[in-house]
């Protein structure tokens, strides 16, 4: 991050370019949320909002990526290609990704389909600006790869086997991690509330077993016995939970 060519101009920005570069680098490198970056900066005495971090990432993220791509070493000659579905605004898309034998990401492509035309477009994007062609291309058994490879790279060896493409499949883990973090950022339903945010009714108090009939006592013992944990006997509050089930069956979850 010390390359001056990668640091944006601080014109019309409140904070110096080093802070902007640090925030953007943190967000993309460690799959953090905008609020996480906001807290990290606040811990260092830089007070910004998560919305400011989001604008910095949208404005300077691609600039940093292009600069780092220009300074990276020559990729390997063995390419692993794979695609994975992602959801964008509720619609399913496919994220195409290519890595070399060392796990370095060569390029990505997001498209709504995974047909032969999209595969050809991805191959041409990978070859753009490269002074060489790969020695081996490893993919899964998707037929689109074979059709695109015959048109764009006819002289390159093509290996199609799911077990050989673990390198590309493992490269999707950061994407899945970011999806999980984005899901955590969504407002969750508070504990004790339903999805419609209506409070649950309070649990009925446990009944006095002396006031129950023999049949009700037998039912209570049967329900309490269903809440046993292997090796630990009755769980704490077993009879209370069973009594609540007896009074209100809808509140009783089936024993696991």
The DSSP-derived string for 6-66 is GSPP-TT-SS-HHHHHHHHHHHHHTT--HHHHHHHHHHTT----HHHHHHHHHHHHHHHHH
Read off the pLDDT of residues 6-36 as tens digits, 9 standing for 90 and up. Answer: 555 667 788 888 899 999 999 988 878 899 9
Last residue of a domain, one of 71, 89, 118: 71
- Asked if residue 147 is part of any domain, the answer here is yes
- Asked if residue 193 is part of any domain, the answer here is no
Residues 67 and 92 grouped into a single domain: no
Read off the pLDDT of residues 115-127 as tens digits, 9 standing for 90 and up. Answer: 999 999 999 999 9
Residues 24 and 54 grouped into a single domain: yes
Cα–Cα distance, 45 to 30 (Å, whole number): 21
Read off the pLDDT of residues 24-71 as tens digits, 9 standing for 90 and up. Answer: 999 988 878 899 999 999 999 999 999 999 999 999 988 888 888 788
Would you say 62 and 68 are in contact if contact means Cβ atoms under 8 Å apart?
no
- Asked if residue 232 is part of any domain, the answer here is yes
Q: Which residue has the tokens 């019309």?
A: 12
Would you say 246 and 218 are in contact if contact means Cβ atoms under 8 Å apart?
no
Residues 35 and 115 grouped into a single domain: no
Considering its fold, how many domains does the chain have in total?
A: 3
């Amino acid at each position: 991050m010390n390359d001056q060519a990668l640091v944006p101009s601080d014109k019309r920005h409140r904070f110096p370019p080093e802070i902007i570069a640090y925030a953007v680098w943190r967000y993309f490198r460690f799959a953090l949320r905008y609020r996480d970056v906001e807290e990290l900066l606040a811990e260092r005495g830089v007070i910004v909002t998560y919305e400011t971090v989001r604008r910095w990432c949208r404005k300077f993220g691609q600039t940093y990526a292009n600069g780092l791509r220009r300074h990276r070493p020559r990729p390997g000659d063995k390419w692993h290609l794979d695609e994975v579905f992602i959801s964008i605004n509720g619609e399913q898309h496919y994220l195409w990704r290519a890595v070399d034998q060392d796990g370095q990401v060569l390029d990505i492509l997001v498209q709504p389909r995974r047909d032969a035309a999209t595969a050809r477009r991805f191959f041409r994007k990978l070859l753009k600006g490269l002074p060489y062609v790969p020695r081996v291309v490893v993919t899964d058994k998707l037929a689109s790869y074979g059709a695109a490879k015959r048109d764009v790279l006819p002289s390159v060896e093509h290996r199609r086997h799911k077990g050989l493409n673990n390198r590309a499949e493992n490269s999707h883990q950061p994407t899945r991690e970011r999806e999980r973090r984005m899901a955590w950022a969504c407002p969750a339903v508070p504990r004790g509330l339903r999805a419609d945010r209506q409070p649950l009714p309070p649990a009925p108090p446990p009944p006095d077993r002396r006031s129950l009939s023999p049949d009700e006592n037998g039912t209570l013992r049967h329900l309490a016995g269903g809440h046993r944990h292997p090796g630990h006997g009755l769980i704490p509050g077993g009879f209370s939970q069973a009594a609540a089930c007896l009074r209100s069956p809808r509140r009783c979850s089936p024993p696991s």
